[in-house]
A and B are shown apart, each in its own frame.
Chain A
Amino acid sequence: DTEVTQTPKHLVMGMTNKKSLKCEQHMGHRAMYWYKQKAKKPPELMFVYSYEKLSINESVPSRFSPECPNSSLLNLHLHALQPEDSALYLCASSQVRDQPQHFGDGTRLSIL
């Protein structure tokens, strides 16, 4: 069991759908992250929130929209995705800089 909880575990959606991925942590961590991971590839950083503010956006297409409603929650809103967006989406959190990132189990996303 991981301390970072992601829902749903699996998601299949059409290219015109709107859906959201959710991530929750109750460790009091101040930074939260979204990564995208394709098969046999490393996690690829998408967004970082630090103290609930977006601090890093790695030039991610606008069809991905992050949101941090409070210090424990992180959402990733999806709209008009493309088949190449199919991947494992990982959420992570960390306490402060130079501390471990704790990863959730991920949401496996398939775009039809």
Chain B
Amino acid sequence: QQPVQSPQAVILREGEDAVINCSSSKALYSVHWYRQKHGEAPVFLMILLKGGEQKGHDKISASFNEKKQQSSLYLTASQLSYSGTYFCGTEWGKTSYDKVIFGPGTSLSVIP
């Protein structure tokens, strides 16, 4: 079962903030976040584990709400380089090691 992402698309001006959400109907073990630019490979951003804390680097951070089976990716003071499609990938537990299922993606465009 594919996780659900919202919004589907967002347009930001440089310096604005954005939040991308990822939710699952099944209990999550971990959530992966990747960014893919047009014509390029997906690039890893971060992984959040069940029981783990909020993570972040630079102006991108993420949280994992186990009760809601939801993760959120926070992009602050957006830069032009943040443009791309953001995918969350979910793992559901011991019976599905390595099985990361990606959500449909959120297209993010940062304009000057």
Instruction: Decide: A42 and B44 in contact? CB cutoff 8 A.
Output: no
Give Cα distance in the complex from A2 to B44, angstroms.
12
B30: chain A residues at CB < 8 Å are 98
Instruction: Decide: A102 and B44 in contact? CB cutoff 8 A.
Output: yes
Whether a CB of chain A sits under 8 angstroms from the CB of B58 is: no
Q: Which residues of B28-57 are within 8 A (CB) of A?
A: 30, 32, 34, 40-44, 47, 49
Give Cα distance in the complex from A2 to B101, angstroms.
22
The count of residues in chain B whose C-beta lies closer than 8 Å to any C-beta of chain A is: 21
B76-112 to A contact mask, C-beta < 8 Å, 1/0: 0000000000010000000001111111110000000
Shortest Cβ distance from A100 into chain B, in angstroms? 4
Q: Which residues of A60-92 are within 8 A (CB) of B?
A: 90
Shortest Cβ distance from B71 into chain A, in angstroms? 14
B42: chain A residues at CB < 8 Å are 43, 90, 103
Chain B residues in contact with chain A, CB under 8 A? Answer: 2, 30, 32, 34, 40-44, 47, 49, 87, 97-105
A94: chain B residues at CB < 8 Å are 98
Instruction: Decide: B41 and A41 in contact? CB cutoff 8 A.
Output: no
Which of A33, A42, A100 contacts B98 (CB under 8 A)? Answer: A33
Instruction: Decide: B32 and A42 in contact? CB cutoff 8 A.
Output: no
Instruction: Decide: B41 and A103 in contact? CB cutoff 8 A.
Output: yes
Chain A residues in contact with chain B, CB under 8 A? Answer: 2, 31, 33, 40-45, 48, 50, 55-56, 90, 94, 97-106
Instruction: Decide: A97 and B98 in contact? CB cutoff 8 A.
Output: yes
Which of B41, B99, B100 contacts A2 (CB under 8 A)? Answer: B41
- Given contacts A98-B49, A101-B32, whether A45 and B44 have CB atoms under 8 Å apart is no
Instruction: Decide: B105 and A45 in contact? CB cutoff 8 A.
Output: no
